[in-house]
Structure 1
Amino acid sequence: MLYAYSLLQPSTAARVRTVFPVLGSPAGLAAEATVCTMLLQAVARGDNLTLADQFRNWPEELRRCCP
């Protein structure tokens, strides 16, 4: 969640990834995919609209991380 809500600040998002290397692990990627799905559902309900574009682009980032 911390990473998700830092996406509007790319330097902060990069720092979160650096400080929490677990995000690049298989378990971390699964957790990110789960959080991304939850947040995209929230966007569909009208929540977190400020981050909607970042949340929509996040799955592509995850696909690049683990082909």
Structure 2
Amino acid sequence: MTLCLRGLERDGLVKRTVLASMPPHLEYELTAMSISLTRPVTELGMWAIEYVDDIDAARAAFDAQD
């Protein structure tokens, strides 16, 4: 999880804040850039739902070739 969060931070998709407390506490928040992904990701999910049967059929046809 740490590597994933660090990668997202490096890409500018999350902001990490270290709070000076005992024990130290970290907070993560989405950046404006990551929030802008909401619409495209939602549309991709809707596309996947619409075509799930076609994807399953294509996979079955491919797997049957072996």
Q: Is the structural similarity TM-score above 0.5?
A: no
| Higher relative contact order structure (alpha carbons within 8 Å, sequence separation ≥ 6) | 1
Range into which the TM-score falls when normalised by the shorter chain: 0.3 to 0.5
TM-score by length of 2: 0.35
Kindly indicate which of the two structures has a greater share of residues assigned to helix: 1
